[in-house]
């Protein structure tokens, strides 16, 4: 992929993913990409016009896109769009986080050639943005409305994120189906995970009972991380692993139960998406 060494490559990817690319710049890129796609594929004109062209910016377009996805008989699209727009107006960080997520997905996912693709189609992106809104509602004392959004996310996107769970920025949830994130879980910045990941508890205990996933962690498909444990910065969790104890930073673990394998990671695996086991 590059002539750079692993550490240089990680630093380059981290800089690219974190560079200040304001929501306004992301919006300009999205609309430009949308117009180019309409010229190449006229059948998508209605989709792109509805998703992008009537709107004033990323916040407005994202509010309407999420509303289209999550609307139901209980809460119509107009009410949902207004609710999401209110949340983004109250907390502009929600919009900037969405912009950073789009850039991170484009940079890390080899199946994603642009920003338009995840904005229109990727339910992992949609789920994370809907969760940000549900978390805002939860944090502002509107728990029942937050639970309604959580329920619709489960029905539409096949994920289950508790509204109290804390997600950082530049998050990639690839494929997304069957990802579960518990109430007291924390997912820091620059984390990547694949489908069927669970960040859960170990039973009936209450209180702080879910994993804390630190910056730059890569979690493979089907991994189950259970309990109030810490997954250290730059760690890699192999696909299908069951993790029941804390993982040191820059460590790879695999298996049931998970065990340490290979030498320490020298890269931030979430940025390189390197799922191989170090030799």
Mean pLDDT by runs of 10 across the 279 residues of the chain is 47 49 89 96 95 93 97 93 95 96 96 97 98 98 97 98 98 97 98 98 89 98 98 97 97 97 90 87
133 and 193, same domain (yes or no):
no
37 and 101, same domain (yes or no):
yes
108 and 215, same domain (yes or no):
no
Question: Model pTM?
Answer: 0.91
Determine the pLDDT at residue 4. 42
Confirm whether 50 is domain-assigned: yes
The DSSP symbol for 44 reads G
Among candidates 174, 195, 179, 192, which has minimal Cα distance to 121? 174
Among candidates 248, 267, 98, which has minimal Cα distance to 171? 98
Determine the pLDDT at residue 20. 46
Determine the pLDDT at residue 101. 97
Q: Tell me the backbone φ, ψ of residue 205, rounded to 5 degrees.
A: -65, 150
d(CA 116, CA 35): 10
Determine the pLDDT at residue 204. 77
Among candidates 279, 275, 264, 202, which has minimal Cα distance to 7? 264
Confirm whether 166 is domain-assigned: no
Please report, for the domain that includes residue 210, its CATH number: 2.160.10.10
Determine the pLDDT at residue 180. 98
Domain containing 259 equals 178-279
219 and 272, same domain (yes or no):
yes
Total domain count, the chain: 2
Determine the pLDDT at residue 11. 55
Token pair in block for residue 145: 């409305």
Among candidates 58, 156, 77, which has minimal Cα distance to 115? 58
Query: What does the DSSP assignment read for 192-257?
Result: EE-TT-EEE-SSS--SS-S-EE-TT-EE-TT-EEESS-EE-TT-EE-TT-EE-S-B-TT-EEETTT
d(CA 272, CA 89): 34
Give the distance, in angstroms, between the CA of residue 145 and the centroid of all CA atoms in the same chain. 21
Determine the pLDDT at residue 209. 96
41 and 86, same domain (yes or no):
yes
Confirm whether 170 is domain-assigned: no
Counting every residue written for the chain, the total comes to 279
Q: Which residues pair with 252 in a beta bridge?
A: 236, 261
119 and 254, same domain (yes or no):
no
Confirm whether 279 is domain-assigned: yes
């Amino acid at each position: 992929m590059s002539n750079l060494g692993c550490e240089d490559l990680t630093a380059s990817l981290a800089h690219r993913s974190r560079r200040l690319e304001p929501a306004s710049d992301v919006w300009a890129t999205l609309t430009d990409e949308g117009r180019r796609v309409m010229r190449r594929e006229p059948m998508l004109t209605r989709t792109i016009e509805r998703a992008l062209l009537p709107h004033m910016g990323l916040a407005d377009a994202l509010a309407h896109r999420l509303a289209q996805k999550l609307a139901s008989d209980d809460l119509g699209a107009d009410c949902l769009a207004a609710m999401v727009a209110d949340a983004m107006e109250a907390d502009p960080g929600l919009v900037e986080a969405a912009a950073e997520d789009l850039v991170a997905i484009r940079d890390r996912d080899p199946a994603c050639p642009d920003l338009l693709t995840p904005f229109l189609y990727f339910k992992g992106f949609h789920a994370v943005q809907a969760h940000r809104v549900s978390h805002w509602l939860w944090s502002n004392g509107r728990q029942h409305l937050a639970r309604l959004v959580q329920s619709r996310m489960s029905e539409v996107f096949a994920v289950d994120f508790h509204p109290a769970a804390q997600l950082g920025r530049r998050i990639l949830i690839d494929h997304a189906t069957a990802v579960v994130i518990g109430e007291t879980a924390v997912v820091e910045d620059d984390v990547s995970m694949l489908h069927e990941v669970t960040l859960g508890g170990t039973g009936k205990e209450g209180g702080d009972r879910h994993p804390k996933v630190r910056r730059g962690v890569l979690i493979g498909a089907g991994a189950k991380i259970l309990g109030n444990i810490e997954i250290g910065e730059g760690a890699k969790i192999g696909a299908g692993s069951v993790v029941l104890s804390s993982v040191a930073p820059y460590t790879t673990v695999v298996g049931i139960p998970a065990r340490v394998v290979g030498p320490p990671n020298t890269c931030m695996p979430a940025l390189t998406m390197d799922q191989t086991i170090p030799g």
